[in-house]
């Protein structure tokens, strides 16, 4: 099918979907390997393919403040992670299958899911497919959630903003420039901040993950700097998650120690962030949500699930302070 958001220039076509902004010559491909220049038109290859679906607690996706204690249908999208050397391949080489947008939405309804999460592949890579699903899902009041590296362009955010409800933005190694230059598709996190600002402008709920890569991406000062920037330029109420890095693809790197993640969490709190979590490590003190005003424990979590919610609507039952939550 013909791709969305591109324009023709003199000797190439330019893709306008993400901040990489590929310039694709005749018969060439973009960084995603799924967009091709065919006779001056951008054609998307292999759209409608996925590795499978899963029904999960939305907390498993590290979304703690968006529709807490609900089910989401996670779609394992087909494609690439845009030159992210440190992405974790969760599909495990699973079998690729074809499915229509209508079938995905019907499955979400059948399973009682309140949302659909687009993950594994960067959703921007499968933008046309995700857009079609999201538009149909909105008709039956099912929310749409991107799990994204934040490289989606302002034009693409604007295009899908009518249907996209939330986004989990994934940052690696606290946005350290040397790490990004060596292992990622862009040398700076500035475009990611631009994406977050654009999403918030269009009232898309945002949570942020900072994945700490041991030995080569675990500078605690860089984490403090990132948290300070979120506080100053965005909003201290944005939920901020620290993630343990653990992957069979990199046997030489040990899992990020919990003790180190706890130190990072303390630094993020000192920088002014109100909701700081270590969300992919079971049994740690940073799994729960506390009222920022009186420190009442308002959401208790265990093993990726909500065990108990202690709220009056979206407010603390003790002091009435409003928690930054989307409940429906």
**Which CATH number characterizes residue 206's domain?**
3.20.20.70
pLDDT band at residue 87, thresholds of 50, 70 and 90? low
Q: Does the pLDDT of residue 180 top 80, yes or no?
A: yes
Residue 304's pLDDT is 78
**226 is a domain residue:** yes
In 3D, which of 325, 288, 285 has the Cα closest to residue 305? 288
Mean pLDDT over residues 230-249, rounded?
93
**Residue 138 CA, distance from chain mean position:** 19
Mean pLDDT lowest among 3-12, 24-33, 85-94: 85-94
Q: Does the pLDDT of residue 239 top 90, yes or no?
A: yes
**298 is a domain residue:** no
**316 is a domain residue:** no
pLDDT band at residue 45, thresholds of 50, 70 and 90? confident
Residue 250's pLDDT is 76
C-beta of residue 71 within 8 angstroms of C-beta of residue 114: yes
Residue 49's pLDDT is 87
Asked if 225 and 177 sit in the same domain, the reply is yes
pLDDT band at residue 326, thresholds of 50, 70 and 90? very high
Residues 154, 9: Cα–Cα separation, whole Å:
20
Residues 100, 96: Cα–Cα separation, whole Å:
13
Arithmetic mean of pLDDT over the chain: 92
**1 is a domain residue:** no
| Token pair listed for 253 | 């790197």
C-beta of residue 24 within 8 angstroms of C-beta of residue 12: yes
Asked if 244 and 174 sit in the same domain, the reply is yes
Asked if 211 and 106 sit in the same domain, the reply is yes
Share of the chain above pLDDT 90, in %: 77
Asked if 29 and 62 sit in the same domain, the reply is no
Q: Give, in degrees to the nearest 5, the angle at Cα 236 between 231 and 240.
A: 100
| Token pair listed for 138 | 């909105």
Asked if 132 and 207 sit in the same domain, the reply is yes
Mean pLDDT over residues 113-122, rounded?
90
Asked if 107 and 164 sit in the same domain, the reply is yes
Residue 91's pLDDT is 46
Diameter of the chain measured on Cα atoms: 64
Asked if 162 and 36 sit in the same domain, the reply is no
Q: Does the pLDDT of residue 81 top 90, yes or no?
A: no
Residue 90's pLDDT is 47
Q: What sign for the dihedral angle of Cα 299, 165, 121, 17?
A: negative
**86 is a domain residue:** yes
Q: Does the pLDDT of residue 203 top 50, yes or no?
A: yes
Asked if 38 and 108 sit in the same domain, the reply is no
Beta carbons within 8 Å of 221's beta carbon, 6+ residues apart: none
Asked if 99 and 33 sit in the same domain, the reply is no
The full length of the chain comes to 328
Q: Does the pLDDT of residue 1 top 60, yes or no?
A: yes
Q: Does the pLDDT of residue 127 top 90, yes or no?
A: yes
pLDDT band at residue 253, thresholds of 50, 70 and 90? confident
Q: Does the pLDDT of residue 313 top 60, yes or no?
A: yes
Asked if 115 and 210 sit in the same domain, the reply is yes
Domain count for the chain, please give it. Answer: 2
pLDDT band at residue 92, thresholds of 50, 70 and 90? very low
Q: Compute φ and ψ for 289, nearest 5 degrees.
A: -105, 130
**20 is a domain residue:** yes
**309 is a domain residue:** no
**325 is a domain residue:** no
Asked if 40 and 73 sit in the same domain, the reply is no
Domain extent for 87: 49-287
Asked if 38 and 53 sit in the same domain, the reply is no
């Amino acid at each position: 099918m013909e791709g969305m958001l591109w324009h023709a220039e003199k000797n190439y076509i330019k893709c306008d979907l993400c901040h990489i902004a590929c310039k694709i010559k005749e018969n060439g491909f973009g960084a995603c390997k799924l967009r091709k220049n065919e006779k001056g038109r951008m054609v998307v290859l292999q759209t409608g393919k996925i590795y499978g679906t899963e029904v999960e607690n939305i907390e498993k996706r590290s979304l703690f403040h968006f529709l807490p204690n609900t089910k989401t249908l996670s779609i394992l999208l087909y494609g690439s992670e845009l030159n992210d050397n440190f992405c974790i391949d969760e599909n495990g080489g699973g079998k690729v299958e074809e499915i229509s947008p209508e079938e995905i939405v019907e499955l979400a309804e059948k399973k009682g899911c309140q949302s659909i999460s687009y993950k594994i592949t960067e959703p921007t890579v499968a933008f046309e497919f995700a857009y079609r699903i999201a538009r149909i899902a909105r008709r039956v009041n099912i929310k749409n959630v991107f799990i994204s590296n934040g490289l989606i362009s302002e034009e693409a955010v604007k295009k899908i903003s009518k249907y996209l409800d939330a986004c989990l933005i994934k940052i690696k190694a606290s946005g350290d420039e040397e790490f990004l230059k060596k292992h990622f598709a862009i040398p700076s996190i500035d475009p990611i901040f631009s994406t977050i600002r654009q999403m918030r402008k269009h009232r898309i709920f945002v949570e942020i993950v900072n994945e700490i890569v041991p030995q080569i991406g675990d500078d605690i000062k860089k984490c403090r700097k990132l948290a300070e920037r979120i506080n100053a330029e965005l909003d201290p109420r944005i939920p901020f998650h620290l993630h343990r890095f653990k992957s069979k693809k990199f046997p030489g790197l040990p899992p990020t120690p919990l003790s180190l993640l706890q130190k990072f969490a303390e630094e993020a709190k000192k920088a002014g962030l109100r909701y700081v979590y270590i969300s992919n490590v079971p049994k740690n003190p940073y799994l729960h949500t506390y009222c920022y005003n009186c420190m009442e424990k308002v959401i208790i979590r265990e093993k990726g699930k909500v065990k108990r919610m202690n709220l009056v609507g979206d407010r603390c039952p003790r002091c009435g302070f409003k928690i930054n939550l989307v409940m429906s």
